[in-house]
């Protein structure tokens, strides 16, 4: 037994020396969980499709509302112009009356269609060139106003369609969560002072183009991912970050997700409590509060998930602190 213990001790010493010679630590450094997102591949796929569909419809809706506002302002100006130009035509009619040409002018003003209006205007050689221009100007303004009204109606119909798409995607995401054992309404983490920082809006490109990932020293991450974790660091959330991870079917291999440790003394260790949990609460709220600026797909923290479509919902995972997300905040981003 003594000789056996000696051989074991010798092996340990030799292995330790070998690690030192090749620059490897004898004990492993903090590493992100292998499958920290928990749930199933089906759930992650459904959340990805549903959330991206929701965000696309939401963006389209926002653009449509902006366009509607612009058209409404344009229509208001056109209607003001119509009042002025109608008064000008009234003056033309008064002059014509005094000149004994009320008949032709009345015929112009009583035309039932724009085409008839133009045809009669061209046919009445008694109307002076300047008067004819004023009449045509009035008609053009009427046409512009009609087109603006039609465009507004089209925008409203498109908005109704996008709202329906958003509702369907919201239902898709919530159904997937419930089928995986979660999806109940929850309040989310408490709001803390550290969650009030405002992140800069992302304006860069897409694609997994930043190589290697600065956090894991391997693989790649997208410019949006890089922007998000740098914004978190700028807001003093800088304990530990791990983004790219090979393998699996989540966003990590795509460079579109990061795990944020919450306890500097026990990174990805046991369930967070005290100051570590407060840190995680604030970090999760920071991402939620800046979701539109950063392009957040979802946030998972302490058995809860935040989705742009649905807010905070319960999230099931199995079976340790990493899968339950009680020792780190998971952030997934759109491409």
pLDDT of residue 9: 41
In tens, the pLDDT along 285-308 reads: 999 999 999 999 999 999 999 999
**Cβ neighbours of residue 7 closer than 8 Å, sequence gap 6 or more:** none
Residue 293 near residue 201 (C-beta atoms within 8 A): yes
Q: What percent of the chain has pLDDT over 90?
A: 58
The 3-state DSSP class for residue 233 equals helix
Q: Give me the pLDDT at residue 235, please.
A: 95
By C-alpha distance, which of 120, 115, 144 is closest to 132? 120
| pLDDT surpassing 70 at residue 114 | no
Find the range with the poorest average confidence among 20-24, 80-84, 155-159.
20-24
* Whether the Cβ atoms of residue 299 and residue 315 lie closer than 8 Å to each other: no
Label residue 44 by pLDDT band (50, 70, 90).
confident
* Lowest model confidence (mean pLDDT) among 86-100, 267-281, 309-323: 86-100
> Per-residue pLDDT for 18 more than 50?
no
Burial class (CB in 10 A: 0-12, 13-18, 19+), 186: middle
pLDDT at 224 over 50: yes
Q: What band does 110 get if pLDDT is binned at 50, 70 and 90?
A: low
**Terminal Cα distance for the chain, rounded:** 60
Quote the pLDDT of residue 124.
Answer: 53
Beta strand 311-314 with 296-301 is unpaired
Q: Which residue has the higher pLDDT, 89 or 235?
A: 235
**104 or 9: which carries more pLDDT confidence?**
104
Q: Is the pLDDT of residue 278 over 90?
A: yes
């Amino acid at each position: 037994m003594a000789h056996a213990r000696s051989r074991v001790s010798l092996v340990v010493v030799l292995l330790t020396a070998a690690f030192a010679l090749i620059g490897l630590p004898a004990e492993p450094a903090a590493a992100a969980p292998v499958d920290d997102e928990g749930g199933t591949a089906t759930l992650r796929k459904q959340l990805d499709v549903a959330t991206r569909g929701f965000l696309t419809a939401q963006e389209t809706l926002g653009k449509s509302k902006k366009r509607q506002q612009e058209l409404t302002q344009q229509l208001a100006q056109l209607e003001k112009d119509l009042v002025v130009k109608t008064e000008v035509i009234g003056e033309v009619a008064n002059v014509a009356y005094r000149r004994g040409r009320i008949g032709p002018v009345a015929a112009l003003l009583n035309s039932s269609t724009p085409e008839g209006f133009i045809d009669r205007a061209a046919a009445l050689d008694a109307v002076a060139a300047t008067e004819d221009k004023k009449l045509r100007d009035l008609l053009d303004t009427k046409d512009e106003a009609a087109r603006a009204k039609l465009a507004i109606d089209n925008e409203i119909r498109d908005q109704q369609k996008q709202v329906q798409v958003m509702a369907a995607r919201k239902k898709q995401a919530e159904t997937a969560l419930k089928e995986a054992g979660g999806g109940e309404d929850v309040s989310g983490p408490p709001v803390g002072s550290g969650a009030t920082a405002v992140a800069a809006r992302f304006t860069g490109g897409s694609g997994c183009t930043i190589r290697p990932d600065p956090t894991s020293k391997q693989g790649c991450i997208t410019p949006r991912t890089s922007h998000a974790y740098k914004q978190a660091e700028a807001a003093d959330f800088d304990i530990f970050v791990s983004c790219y991870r090979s393998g699996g079917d989540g966003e990590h291999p795509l460079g579109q997700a990061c795990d944020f440790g919450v306890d500097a003394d026990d990174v990805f260790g046991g369930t967070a409590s005290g100051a570590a949990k407060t840190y995680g609460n604030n970090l999760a709220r920071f991402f939620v509060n800046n979701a539109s600026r950063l392009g957040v797909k979802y946030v998972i923290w302490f058995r809860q998930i935040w989705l742009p479509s649905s807010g905070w919902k319960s999230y099931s995972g199995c079976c340790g602190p990493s899968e339950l997300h009680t020792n780190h905040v998971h952030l997934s981003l759109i491409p």
